Structure 1
Amino acid sequence: MPVPAGQGPVERDLLKDQAYAAIRDAIVAGTLTPGERLRDPELCAWLGLSRTPVREALNRLEQDGLVETAPQRFTRVTPLDRRATRDAFPVVAALHALAAELAQPRTTAADTEEMHAANERFAQALRDGDVDAALQADDDFHAVFVTASANAEIPRALDRLMPRIRRLERLRFGSLQGRASAREHAQILTATPQDVPDLVKQNWLSLGALIDRSFE
């Protein structure tokens, strides 16, 4: 079978991905607020794109739980939901624990050094009250296990779930007060290999419990 001529579908996919990333990031950052109506003309003007890639991006965001629609009524940013929080965190915790378990035989001294450095950045960001830096350092810390796990399905699943988690952190817990994650990270780094997965799981569950209490 000859290779088809033209690159229209490739360009369309790139535009769809561009729209998806831009809208997702705006939702996670809180620029697009919970419950805010999303109107195609406004999004198209903002992104400089046609309606087709924007609608495809919104459909994907709806599958991710960041956008919700009511036919002929509205498309909007999904409001914050306590039950959705309780549903998401155990799954994220289990995925990160699995990554840590699979990573143990593959984790190198360089990986451990990278995690130490990430936790130092994380602790400093907490002291500075720098939400962006703290979340990035936290991602860097856990990404070491995800990469070392060498399981392609784990990052695929986390890519769908983590934007919801990070949005909750920013909007329900932006002050970073009460975080014990830096200490929990340190415990993970000094634990025996068989204890690491459970400590990783508890690290994520403790964050989930903290955010759940913020709804009160």
Structure 2
Amino acid sequence: MPVPTETLPPRPLLRDDVYARLRDAIVDGTLAPDEQLRDGELAAWLGVSRTPVREALLELGRAGLVRATPGRSTVVAPLEERSIRDAQSVVAAMHALAVREAVPNLTAAHLDRMRAANAAFAAAQRAGDADAALRADEQFHAVALEAAGNAAVGAVIAQYEPVLHRAERLRFASHEGAASIARHERLIELCAAGDAEGAAAVAEHTWQSLAAAPAASVPTPTQEPA
């Protein structure tokens, strides 16, 4: 029979879906630091075969979310200062680049979406809902990524940002997260004014500062918790 001509809506690959679910479980703490990850148990939990689980674990390892020892077990990576700062430098630079490229393309609708996301972020802060704050923060920064249209930047951020999301949850759950509201507002102002360099600088500072507070309380591999 001839190949159908109608276009079917894209469906996520099973491997990508498994990766996203495991990534989110690590970020929200469902899978705790140093917890052992057995592919058979994870496959049963997610209702899939072991193959996509193994593929997802390899990708999570490249993202710094799991740690595998050859011939031994795979565990959820601990939240260490070094891993946070490594990811922080990359993600901050990529978001700055995205904002710089996005500013000339931003429309009134884009700015309205940023304002709405920041309002949702502020509401989540007031309610003490760290998960909702994290979702709203993602929606806020996604506007510039979309307007920039730089697939390479998006891919790098997608790989390394989850490490920072673990740190962000700690910050968003504290009073420190309130400072992000003001940074978002300033970023919107600069974007609306067409100041690409100023907006990029604020975006980079936002991501540099987000990881600073929780990282200070995370023990390094050579330190013992206080």
**TM-score above 0.5, yes or no:** yes
What displacement does 1:47 show?
A: 1.6
**Letter of the 1:208 counterpart:** A
What displacement does 1:173 show?
A: 3.2
Contact 2:64 2:83 in 1 (8 A): no
Which SS does the other structure have where 2:150 is aligned?
coil
Aligned equivalent of 2:223 = none
Q: Deviations over 1:126-173 (max 9, x none)?
A: 111111111111111111111111211111111111111112222x43
Which SS does the other structure have where 2:48 is aligned?
coil
What displacement does 1:188 show?
A: 1.3
- For residues 21 and 13 of structure 2, what CA distance do their matches in structure 1 show? 12
Comparing 82-91 and 189-198, the one that deviates more = 189-198
Q: Which residues of 2 match residues 30-49 of structure 1 at below 5 A?
A: 30-49=29-48
- For residues 212 and 144 of structure 1, what CA distance do their matches in structure 2 show? 27
What displacement does 1:174 show?
A: 5.5
Contact 1:173 1:214 in 2 (8 A): no
Contact 2:125 2:172 in 1 (8 A): no
**Unaligned 5+ runs, structure 1:** 4-10
Contact 1:85 1:212 in 2 (8 A): yes
Q: Does 2:145 match 1:146?
A: yes
**Letter of the 2:209 counterpart:** S
Aligned equivalent of 1:60 = 59
Given the two structures, how large is their TM-score scaled by the length of structure 1? 0.88
Aligned equivalent of 1:93 = 92
Size of the aligned set, in residue pairs, is 206
What displacement does 1:176 show?
A: 2.9
- For residues 43 and 139 of structure 2, what CA distance do their matches in structure 1 show? 33
Q: Which residues of 2 match residues 53-202 of structure 1 at below 5 A?
A: 53-170=52-169, 172-173=170-171, 175-179=173-177, 180-191=179-190, 192=193, 193=195, 194-202=197-205
Given the two structures, how large is their TM-score scaled by the length of structure 2? 0.85
Comparing 47-56 and 59-68, the one that deviates more = 47-56
Which SS does the other structure have where 1:30 is aligned?
coil
- Note closer, same or farther for the CA distance 1:117–1:18 as it changes in structure 2 (3 Å cut): closer
> RMSD across aligned C-alpha pairs, in angstroms?
2.0
Aligned equivalent of 1:6 = none
**Letter of the 2:98 counterpart:** A
